[in-house]
Amino acid sequence: MTETTTAVMREETAPTTGRKPRGEYAKSKEKRTAILDAALEVFSQSGYRAGSLREVAERVGMSEAGLLHHFRSKSALLMALLEHRDEMSRSRVDFDIPDGVEALRSLAELARFNAANPGIVELYCVLSAEATAPDHPAHDYFIDRYISVRDSVTRSFQRVADAGRLGDGVDPRRAAVATIALMDGLQVQWLLDPASTDMAEALHDVFRSLIRGYDLVGLENVLDGLDAKVEGASQDSPEDAAATPERDA
């Protein structure tokens, strides 16, 4: 038996724990992240149907077979990419906080974050249009996502209404539907001509028209600043100066 054969037999019969070394996990995670970044570029530029796994693999310097080791299929890669996008959104918007106004403010600021990451906006616009076809792998995902987002935004508007701050005649559910439609429309306009609109400010403007005291936080910050100035001035008042013994010349 040759030395090579013996070595192979030792490797095949050696006990395994089923765990990868820590370094391999880190490398695998880095590679998956690189694949997702490449898929974001490919699918946002070419769409899901036209974008190929080969092109994604080439962008990260690996074979298509190597890519399939990390994501078993093209549709699995797509769903992982959409989940990655949702995780980024959830980290910036918490619809469960008691303050509905603050939740809506963070939703507007999410648009500002997206504007700094155009690939995300392109991906969403391209895929949401493609996914209207029932046979698209993301069809059910987008149906469920719209239901979830409508419900979440509605809850935020309802909390605003419960606090007595929603404008007269404004229905929380209809306001939520209109907000989502506005965000989608702003993204298309912005992709066609980035200088045409500021997505975040456009949303803030609409919320100002729907919510009483929407800018109250900003006003409170200004008042806090004025209070600090007044307090500082009072410390240097003539009375304080008179109470301080003069130093020898």
pLDDT at 112 over 70: yes
Q: Is residue 235 very low, low, confident or very high in pLDDT (cuts 50, 70, 90)?
A: low
Is 82 within 8 Å of 128 (Cβ atoms)?
A: no
Give the separation between CA 129 and CA 104, rounded to whole angstroms: 25
Q: Is residue 90 very low, low, confident or very high in pLDDT (cuts 50, 70, 90)?
A: confident
pLDDT at 122 over 90: no
Of 186, 81, 83, 78, nearest to 125 by C-alpha is: 186
Question: Given this model, what pLDDT does residue 37 score?
Answer: 87
Give the separation between CA 208 and CA 196, rounded to whole angstroms: 21
Is 125 within 8 Å of 173 (Cβ atoms)?
A: no
What percentage of the chain carries pLDDT values higher than 70? 76
Question: Given this model, what pLDDT does residue 8 score?
Answer: 38
Say what the pTM is: 0.70
Q: Is residue 228 very low, low, confident or very high in pLDDT (cuts 50, 70, 90)?
A: low
Question: Given this model, what pLDDT does residue 88 score?
Answer: 81
Question: Given this model, what pLDDT does residue 180 score?
Answer: 97
| DSSP-assigned letter for residue 244 | S
- Rounded mean pLDDT, 229-240: 58
Give the separation between CA 172 and CA 227, rounded to whole angstroms: 36
> DSSP letters along 142-186, please?
HHHHHHHHHHHHHHHHHHHHHTT-BPTT--HHHHHHHHHHHHHHH
Q: Convert the pLDDT of each residue in 151-206 to its tens digit.
A: 999 999 999 999 999 999 999 999 999 999 999 999 999 999 999 999 999 999 99
Q: Convert the pLDDT of each residue in 154-165 to its tens digit.
A: 999 999 999 999
